[in-house]
Chain A
Amino acid sequence: MTAVVTRPDPKDTAGEPDPRDPEVRLAQLLDVDSMAPLRPKDASGVYAVRGRINGAKAVAYCTDATKMGGAMGSEGCRHIVEAIDTAVKERVPVIGLWHSGGARLAEGVEALDAVGSVFAAMVRASGKVPQISVVLGPAAGGAAYGPALTDIVIMAPTGRVFVTGPDVVRSVTGEQIDMEGLGGPDAHARKSGVVHVTADDEADAYARARRITSLFSLPGVFDLHRVRNDNADLKAMLPASARRAYDVRPLVRRILDHDETSSSFEELQPRWAPNIVVGLGRLAGRTVGVIANNPLRMGGCLDSASAEKASRFVRMCDSFGVPLLVLVDVPGYLPGVGQEWDGVVRRGAKLLHAFAEAIVPRVTLVTRKAYGGAYIAMNARCLGATSVFAWPDAEVAVMGARAAVGILHRKKLAAAPEEEREALHNQLAEEHERIAGGVNRALAIGVVDEVIEPTQTRYRLAESLAAAPAGRGAHGNIPL
């Protein structure tokens, strides 16, 4: 059925268009007057178009919430598949606007089959063109897995994502929860990690989708003139004491292109696994991906959730040819029964795999410390880093000097009289620091290329990324 429905919705008779109308929604996403439908508007519940975002070509589709709550039937699903396949053929990003109750019940298994074909199209496109989802209303069942298969999920305050709604949850498990509690922005931004960006309102959701799409479709080139004369002492943004925590995000925003009031940094999944910060931004005009430990949260340690968050981001950037900038200040992997049983070995292995596999230029900067297994996982030389830099006084070691001598000289320390033990421990730690500590050993064996002046940070990072051969990983972006 491709019957063209021209009869307006009864609500439209007042002249005011329904804000849920796909044409109204897509018009807010795309540049003014840039929208051209792939097919005429019909009763399928999906509208798909070509258009432009900041001048760059894109394909977009929107489920029609004014028809059966946006439920997806076979015809509508065919439109989505066509939109995705068109984007792949034309090598442009594809943006989906979601407001859908899931598969059309009346169509039965036919609708299920069609929804599955949407998933298959998304996987075919995975890693080939950026796929961005904006969840504007309920996205249940099949409509939940659609966004989840794409690279970036943006959610408006009215967005809800769940496999089964509150009624089914109540009847099966007895749990009492409303739609927002179950699958609203807070649930998915903080607890599940499903959502990458929570928007302030629907207009903000389109604005964020436009900014993120442009970071992919208008990647720019490294223009070193833009960073050559920036000589600010970025190390001054770190606290004086090495034990003190700080928020790494102001440093990230400052390293990336910025002006007085704003930065180009678009953080992804900021409230889930917040001990690692990931996001896109521009350095010297070129789109880059940033991965940074955040000492403010859990001391910046790596754990199973943060390793998984970072590995998916690394693989996404690699598949789209986005160079990576890795800021390291990591005390280690979080120890504990909970972590081990939570699969820190299995999920931590994903990060090793992601970095070692990545062929995009990827530069590491150790700002304060890199200890143990977490040192390796944060894009160390052995995993194939393009360059590894360190700021002066940074430490690269298996563990901190005090902890190291506590193990190496356990017997000697135990044999010392108790009143002298503390002094001996300090003395041994100092000696250890001199021989094995700091960054000197790492420099000597070539796992750190160079200690750079903090005032030269932006220039040296951009220079290294610009000099490396551009590449792009030939793989999809499985939602790890």
Chain B
Amino acid sequence: MAEEIHAEMVANVLQVVVAEGDEVRRDDTLVLLESMKMEIPVITEVGGVVAKVAVQPGQVVQRGDLIAVVE
């Protein structure tokens, strides 16, 4: 089953921590965002393999934008 992870808020993409094909566990950080002058990790609520990373560093994401897909 594929789990889509979306941005919870408007933010700058600071760092992409995982690459497509990486294995991740629940609560792992996928991407680091910056918003409200805070570094905010985007974490996965499911374990699996990163099927897609939809953002790049420097990009601005809006609430609801797709960040990554974990299968």
Contact = CB atoms under 8 A, between A and B. Distances in A.
B63 A338 contact: yes
A298 B9 contact: yes
A173 B40 CA distance: 37
Interface of B: 8-10, 35-41, 43, 45, 63
Interface stretch (A159-167, A210-218, A329-337, A460-468): A329-337
Contacts of B8: 275, 297-298
B43 A296 contact: yes
B10 A295 contact: no
Given A245-B39, A295-B38, 9 more contacts: A244-B39, A245-B38, A275-B8, A297-B40, A298-B8, A298-B40, A299-B9, A299-B36, A334-B36
A327 to B, nearest CB: 16
Contact of A296 (B9, B10, B41, B63): B41
A3 to B, nearest CB: 49
B63 A299 contact: no
B37 A336 contact: no
A331 B41 contact: no
Contacts of B35: 298-299
Contacts of A271: 45
Interface residues of A, number: 22
Interface string A333-370: 01010100000000000000000000000000000000
A140 interface: no
A88 interface: no
A167 to B, nearest CB: 25
A336 B38 contact: no
A316 interface: no
8 contacts: A243-B38, A296-B41, A299-B38, A300-B38, A303-B9, A338-B63, A400-B37, A403-B37
B9 A245 contact: no
Contacts of A299: 9, 35-36, 38, 40
Which of B8, B10, B40, B43 has the most chain A CB atoms inside 10 A of its CB? B40
* 7 nearest A-B pairs in the assembled complex, by CB-CB distance: A299-B38, A331-B36, A299-B36, A299-B40, A298-B9, A298-B8, A301-B36
Interface of A: 241, 243-245, 271, 275, 295-301, 303, 331-332, 334, 336, 338, 400, 402-403
Which of A244, A298, A301 has the most chain B CB atoms inside 10 A of its CB? A298
Contact of B36 (A241, A296, A332): A332
Contact of B39 (A243, A298, A332, A400): A243
A297 B39 CA distance: 10
Contacts of B63: 336, 338
B70 to A, nearest CB: 16
A419 to B, nearest CB: 23
A275 B43 CA distance: 13
Contacts of B41: 245, 296
Nearest to A333: B36
A298 B43 CA distance: 11
A200 to B, nearest CB: 15
Contacts of B36: 298-299, 301, 331-332, 334
A298 B10 CA distance: 9
Which of A245, A300, A400 has the most chain B CB atoms inside 10 A of its CB? A245
Nearest to B32: A245
A148 B31 CA distance: 36
A275 to B, nearest CB: 8
B40 A336 contact: no
Contacts of A296: 40-41, 43
A300 B35 CA distance: 11
Nearest to A190: B45
A319 to B, nearest CB: 31
A476 B9 CA distance: 33
B9 A334 contact: yes
Nearest to A300: B38
A245 B37 contact: no
A336 B36 CA distance: 12
A295 B37 CA distance: 11
